[in-house]
Structure 1
């Protein structure tokens, strides 16, 4: 079912690429190995981290030895997820675990988890009352959701809840936006009655923790996957080091928390509490 659902020196210049008639956004740089035709492709869902990731990859000695070019691709589009992850094009990918399971990509393309973010909870959040998970309460409500189906807390989990309760989308006014922050702005402005999202500490500056109701309390965090067609241990350790450094330097709650998977690299993982900002 998941597979069917998903199937429904720097140049640093943003460009459009045509891949199977899909328009994608990417950043690209050349390494010092100018005669090397191998391209290291990273696929993520967040444009904001693309340039930092590109810079780190292109300054890596390991990447410079092994590849002639680096491309960082970003998109929320399910068709592009299929292209880059489902078909094994990406060497490094930040995606949800259910994507890998849907396409059996770990087995087919030998993707290996190198790092991940913590599990989290999905809530219905209201401005003036505690939401109820009942058909009677939700009927006719204005609900704010994310407009990309790959988001679990902003799309998948609440849609599943509505289905379980026997509530059709036509019986509610569903307003779609493109970020969790936009959901919060809708709620604060009174343009929706409830939103579906995660909860972070700074939300208490705008909303009451008493007016949130958990829909699902254990949603797995996104994971970094590295394609390992050979026993390239230098690459694993280098990628983990890069991701750890980015996590330590970022100001984002989402990327500041990183758990490295155990290996022989002797890198210590980070252990700060966090709420994911792109769940």
Structure 2
């Protein structure tokens, strides 16, 4: 069976690859088509979904027919996002719409949106009081942000607020971390006064909903883009079905809110033609 063969060639070791002097982390597997030289390159910014995504893609029959290898690459580094998306290296990418617009990648490399996550709001979140969107309140506060510039809720929106209020970053004590969960840990331990992030249902277990203040509503969610050099409708449908299965099984409130772009794909059968390979 393909499932047992796949288990033997799947590599769960995180690798560092040097691509044009950029260091990235990735997971790679070989499909059943060992003589096929085509690689399916996936770029995401969330390491947490990398393993499950690779596992689903590499056990998919359509992808096994069309590709010899699958690589899932992840990074928050702005230069690597430019490398993989801005230069069209990624076949499938999960990024913000503003990234695609900045490089006109949809026109240049024929990326098409296959799925997207719902719009959301960005909040200032505090532990002991409701934050105010004023210069007087925010001046000198310890503010937790994400260290990657492509994040809307954790970087772009709050920095835009500081700029609108005329607050220099030199007048703030900004602490940078690399995940939204790390931001919440900073706040819970009193390491910062406020953080900028989205609000999820489980946050009510650690923080009070009375102590959040929206900075911006209707922030565009991330989108899945597939490079379509041919009218490969089989691939579109299998990618969509794979993403649907992952969204159903995820623990993340955000990633459960997946919306597919209509391509008249059939409903998935037995978890979307993904062969069972997990014991």
Q: Give the superposition deviation at 1:12.
A: 2.9
After TM superposition, the structure 1 = structure 2 runs for residues 251-266 of structure 1, keeping only pairs within 5 Å, are 251-266=251-266
Q: What per-residue deviation string (whole Å, max 9, x for no partner) do you get for residues 94-116 of structure 1?
A: 11111101100011101001011
Q: Give the superposition deviation at 1:92.
A: 0.4
Q: What per-residue deviation string (whole Å, max 9, x for no partner) do you get for residues 210-269 of structure 1?
A: 21111001101101100000000000001001111111122222322211111110449x
After TM superposition, the structure 1 = structure 2 runs for residues 180-195 of structure 1, keeping only pairs within 5 Å, are 180-195=180-195
- TM-score, structure 2 normalization: 0.90
Structure 2 distance, partners of 1:68, 1:184, is 41
Q: Give the superposition deviation at 1:11.
A: 2.6
Does residue 135 (structure 1) correspond to residue 135 (structure 2)? The answer is yes
Q: Give the superposition deviation at 1:187.
A: 1.4
Q: Give the superposition deviation at 1:14.
A: 1.7
State the Cα RMSD in Å: 1.2
Q: Secondary structure at the match of 1:175?
A: strand
Counterpart of 1:22?
A: 22
Q: Secondary structure at the match of 2:122?
A: strand
Q: Secondary structure at the match of 2:242?
A: helix
Structure 1 stretches of 4+ with a deviation exceeding 4 A read none
Structure 1 distance, partners of 2:131, 2:254, is 26
Counterpart of 1:12?
A: 12
Number of residue pairs matched by the alignment = 260
Counterpart of 1:237?
A: 237
Structure 1 distance, partners of 2:128, 2:15, is 45
Counterpart of 2:41?
A: 41
Q: Give the superposition deviation at 1:158.
A: 0.2
After TM superposition, the structure 1 = structure 2 runs for residues 34-183 of structure 1, keeping only pairs within 5 Å, are 34-183=34-183
CA contact (8 A) 2:26 2:73 kept: yes
Q: Which moved more, 1:252-261 or 1:138-147?
A: 252-261
Structure 1 distance, partners of 2:175, 2:24, is 26
Structure 1 distance, partners of 2:16, 2:129, is 45
Q: Secondary structure at the match of 2:28?
A: strand
Q: Give the superposition deviation at 1:191.
A: 1.8
Unmatched segments (≥5 aa) in structure 2: 1-8, 269-279
CA contact (8 A) 2:201 2:253 kept: no
Q: Secondary structure at the match of 2:230?
A: coil
Unmatched segments (≥5 aa) in structure 1: 1-8, 269-279
Counterpart of 2:250?
A: 250
Counterpart of 2:206?
A: 206
Q: Secondary structure at the match of 2:26?
A: strand
Q: Secondary structure at the match of 1:94?
A: strand
Q: Secondary structure at the match of 1:218?
A: strand
Q: Which moved more, 1:109-118 or 1:45-54?
A: 45-54
Structure 2 distance, partners of 1:86, 1:63, is 24
- TM-score, structure 1 normalization: 0.90
Structure 1 distance, partners of 2:49, 2:130, is 35
